[in-house]
Structure 1
Amino acid sequence: MADSEHILISLAPRHAKNIFDGVKHIELRRRPMKVEPGTIIWIYVTLPVGVLMGRAKVAALHTASPGALWRKFGSVSGLVRSEFLGYLDGLAEGFVLVLEDVKALCEPLSLEALRAIAKGFNPPQFFIRIDKEHPFFPSLTAPASVLFRRKRPKMLDASKQP
């Protein structure tokens, strides 16, 4: 895992929950992300949860019209059609990252813990790269037996979702 590229994205709690529950198999974006298949995506869950929950691997990337993306990925997006197409409204093309190998951390890292590792850390609006010099790199490339759970987490209380 240390040889792969690593990035960190921020997701709303319900989208992160859908990824870790196996409902959502893609990440939909309004603009392309310059990443390659095999990239490790670390998932920070925004407030009120406020934790780095786990990661997924990029299996494939797709750029197409919103309608074409909906036809191909709507059923694995965790979104209803109006929400999917509304998010991409006004764009000629949208961008999809197909996710695989989703894993939750044994112990999610709180925003406070992340800031203790990297002073001044703020969750990204789009994404950040985590290269070998980044303060998070050693923590995120520890052996899998230390980092990850065998089962998907019961991450969020459904009553707290926006």
Structure 2
Amino acid sequence: MQVKHIKALSIKQIYAERIIAGTKKIELRKRPIGIELGDLILLYETNPDSVIRGGFIADKTISLSPPRMWNQYHHIMGVDKEFYDIYFENCEFAYGTLIRQSFSFPALPLKQIQKLCSGFVPPQATINWRKNWYVQAEWLDALNKGRNELMQENRLGEQLNLLIF
């Protein structure tokens, strides 16, 4: 099963809801967190809900100074200026992953995730989904659709498995 391009991202519920609704189209962080073009990012909503019920296909990640990031992308950030300024205070760079397409999925609460995924610990930022962990069919559908669209646009190359003899 191909889970190489599935990651879980720790996020507050309000921002997960905005991503799923399409009003937040860029995910901001203070440092790079290993999200790559075409990855399926599962939104792990932190306390009190502790659940995965949505995600997105990652587009490109950009880094700019916080003032430039705000000037260019504030209309799709889903945060207000006061929050933004406090969050990026004393940061040289702001990192933003553009959201290509968002999805809602059947809810998977933390207790169920831990039963289905041995060793799952809620991420501090992001974690790679392990090969032996449970994967909802809807996740694979979203991942395959997103990656196929990026390949058709020549933005993502097909991954070939080469055998060396």
Match of 2:133 in 1: 135
Match of 1:85 in 2: 85
Distance 1:41 1:142, change over 3 A: closer
Match of 1:23 in 2: 23
Provide structure 2 residue ranges, at least 5 long, that are not aligned to the other structure: 143-165
Q: Structure 2: how far apart are the matches of 1:94 and 1:64?
A: 6
Deviation at residue 122 of structure 1 after TM alignment: 2.0
After superposition, what is the alpha-carbon deviation per residue over 1:112-154, rounded to whole angstroms, capped at 9, x for unaligned? 11010123422101110114x2413x43676539xxxxxxxxx
Q: Structure 1: how far apart are the matches of 2:62 and 2:19?
A: 18
Describe the SS at the equivalent of 1:52: strand
Provide structure 1 residue ranges, at least 5 long, that are not aligned to the other structure: 146-162
TM-score under structure 2 normalisation?
A: 0.78
Given residue 78 of structure 2, which amino acid in structure 1 is its aligned partner? G
Distance 1:64 1:41, change over 3 A: same
Match of 1:46 in 2: 46
Match of 2:155 in 1: none
Match of 2:123 in 1: 124
Structure 2 contact 42–55 (Cα < 8 Å) conserved = yes
Describe the SS at the equivalent of 2:22: coil
Which structure has the bigger radius of gyration?
A: 2
Match of 2:69 in 1: 69
Q: Structure 1: how far apart are the matches of 2:4 and 2:124?
A: 22
Q: Structure 1: how far apart are the matches of 2:72 and 2:139?
A: 35
Structure 2 contact 41–57 (Cα < 8 Å) conserved = yes
Match of 1:112 in 2: 111
